[in-house]
């Protein structure tokens, strides 16, 4: 009598574990993360038109896109909105030399290897992976970053790359296709991403 | 007895299921630092270290005073470290548009978007004073900043600073070019287009 109930319980638990691991809630797609300063890409990118590389300087040359140093914010905010309470943490950080602690929005598990520079150089646009950042008042994740998501593109990468001048442009569906890129045949090898 | 053992097995299986998500987190956040990750090891709370004072990393000695400081014999260099190429000009335009145009404007007259939002306007790069200034002077301004302008030395690599300067020179020339600067072929092209 107790057994069927138990089996049911186990099934329910397994389902819950699966749901917790794979639902968008576990990885919070579309839900902004609370940051020390309410930084807005919509404002800085969408309205002011500042290039991604002004703040994410590593994205073309290294695996890590990087976060802007406090000096970068101060370049403008030493003059603009210099008394705004919202920017107090920035001024504090500048005065004390303690970096701002941005919370991670996209964060792969440590057992996955990822590199921005190769994607950027091969013409995968920021928008393909991060969505319309220029419309985000607060930054949120655009995709779940599960293995399946990476592989979906790695199976047909040619259809997802663009000319190099389009990589930093924020516009809806990735526009024009480019001629097929010369990519290796290792695109789905486990060791590509699990090193 | 058999019944109890079976129930225990199932309970054990359930328990292991509950442990599963926790183990995943352990592997997902391992005990090493990612770039710029927070750290409790260092007083400033950041895993990315800045080099101790008075030390240099390999390859950072930067002995080439002209290339890394824009100086020649103690003065602002009057020349570029190497002849300007077309590729360098294009790189310069790209870097200028990323890092400078927000204030100086895409044509260099000092009307960038941030100025439109209230940043004190920088001088036009087309002033005679700046047209006459040597490349080494621009190098110093970009590297160390000047007045209200913050330094870009840590954000724009030396080679890119030279590329930007070459592009500024091109911007300056673009406003002051005369017919005499064109070769015969270019002049013909211009005249043809004027007749169309």
Q: Give ipTM to 2 decimals.
A: 0.82
Question: CATH code at B127?
Answer: 1.10.760.10
Domain membership flag for residue A157:
yes
Residues of chain A with Cβ-Cβ distance to B98 below 8 Å are: 51, 53-54
- Check residue A104 and report its DSSP letter: P
Domain membership flag for residue A106:
yes
Q: Give the residue numbers spanning the domain of A152.
A: 33-67+102-192
> Is residue B69 within a helix (H) or strand (E), and if so which, with residue range?
helix B65-69
Q: Tokens 């990519």 appear where?
A: A183
Compute the distance between CA of residue B73 and CA of residue A61 in angstroms, rounded to an integer: 34
Choose the closest CB to A10 out of B10, B32, B120: B10
Backbone angles phi, psi at A40, to 5 degrees: -115, 115
Work out the average pLDDT over B89-96: 97
Domain membership flag for residue A26:
no
Backbone angles phi, psi at B58, to 5 degrees: -55, 135
Domain membership flag for residue A76:
no
- Check residue A25 and give its pLDDT: 43
- Check residue B5 and give its pLDDT: 80
Domain membership flag for residue B55:
no
Choose the closest CB to A79 out of B7, B17, B148: B148
Compute the distance between CA of residue A96 and CA of residue A89 in angstroms, rounded to an integer: 10
Q: Give the residue numbers spanning the domain of B81.
A: 77-195
Retrieve residue A172's tokens: 């809806």
Residues of chain B with Cβ-Cβ distance to A51 below 8 Å are: 97-98
Residues 6+ apart with CB under 8 A from B171: B107, B108, B125, B126
Q: How far is CA B163 from the centre of its chain?
A: 12
- Check residue B23 and give its pLDDT: 45
Domain membership flag for residue B81:
yes
A86 touches chain B (CB under 8 A): no
How many structural domains are present in chain B? 1
Domain membership flag for residue A107:
yes
| E strand residue ranges, A31-180 | none
Domain membership flag for residue A170:
yes
Q: Could you report the average pLDDT of every consecutive run of 10 residues in chain A (195 residues)?
A: 62 55 58 92 97 95 94 96 95 94 92 95 94 95 94 85 89 59 74 93
Compute the distance between CA of residue A179 and CA of residue A176 in angstroms, rounded to an integer: 10
φ/ψ region of A35 (left if φ > 0, alpha if ψ in -120 to 50, else beta) reads beta
Q: Confidence band (pLDDT; 50, 70, 90) for B1?
A: low
- Check residue B134 and report its DSSP letter: -
Domain membership flag for residue A162:
yes
A102-116, B94-108, B118-132, B174-188: least confidently modelled range? B174-188
Closest CA–CA distance from residue B101 to any residue of chain A (Å): 9
Q: Tokens 């004190």 appear where?
A: B120
Query: Taking CA atoms, what residue in A is nearest to B48?
Result: A99
How many structural domains are present in chain A? 1
Domain membership flag for residue A127:
yes
Compute the distance between CA of residue B94 and CA of residue A51 in angstroms, rounded to an integer: 10
């Amino acid at each position: 009598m107790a057994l069927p109930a138990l089996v049911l319980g186990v099934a329910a638990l397994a389902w819950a574990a699966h749901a917790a691991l794979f639902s968008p809630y576990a990885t919070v797609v579309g839900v902004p993360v609370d940051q020390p300063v309410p930084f807005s890409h919509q404002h800085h990118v969408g309205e002011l038109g500042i290039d991604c590389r002004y703040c994410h300087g590593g994205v073309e040359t290294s695996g890590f896109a990087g976060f802007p140093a406090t000096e970068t914010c101060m370049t403008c905010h030493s003059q603009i909105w210099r008394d705004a309470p919202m920017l107090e943490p920035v001024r504090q950080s500048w005065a004390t030399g303690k970096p701002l602690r941005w919370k991670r929005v996209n964060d792969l598990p440590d057992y996955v290897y990822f590199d921005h520079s190769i994607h950027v150089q091969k013409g995968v646009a920021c928008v393909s992976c991060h969505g319309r950042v220029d419309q985000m008042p607060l930054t949120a994740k655009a995709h779940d970053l599960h293995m399946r998501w990476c592989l979906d593109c790695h199976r047909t990468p040619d259809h997802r790359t663009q000319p190099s001048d389009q990589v930093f442009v924020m516009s809806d569906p990735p526009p024009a296709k480019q001629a097929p890129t010369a990519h290796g045949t290792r695109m789905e090898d486990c060791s590509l991403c699990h090193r | 007895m058999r019944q109890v053992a079976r129930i225990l097995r199932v309970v054990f299986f359930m328990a292991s299921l509950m442990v599963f998500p926790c183990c995943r987190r352990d592997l997902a956040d391992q005990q090493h630092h990612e770039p710029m990750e927070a750290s409790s090891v260092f007083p400033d709370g950041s895993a990315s270290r800045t080099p101790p004072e008075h030390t240099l990393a390999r390859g950072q000695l930067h002995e080439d005073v002209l290339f890394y400081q824009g100086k020649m014999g103690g003065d602002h260099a009057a020349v570029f470290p190497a002849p300007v190429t077309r590729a360098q000009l294009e790189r310069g335009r790209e870097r200028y548009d990323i890092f400078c145009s927000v204030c100086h404007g895409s044509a260099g007259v000092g009307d960038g978007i941030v100025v439109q939002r209230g940043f004190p306007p920088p001088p036009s790069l087309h002033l005679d004073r700046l047209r006459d200034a040597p490349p080494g002077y621009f190098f110093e301004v970009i590297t160390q900043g000047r007045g209200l302008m913050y330094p870009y030395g840590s954000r724009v690599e030396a080679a890119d600073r030279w590329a930007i300067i070459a592009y500024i020179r091109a911007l300056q020339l673009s406003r002051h070019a005369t017919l005499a600067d064109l070769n015969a072929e270019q002049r013909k092209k211009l005249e043809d287009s004027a007749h169309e």
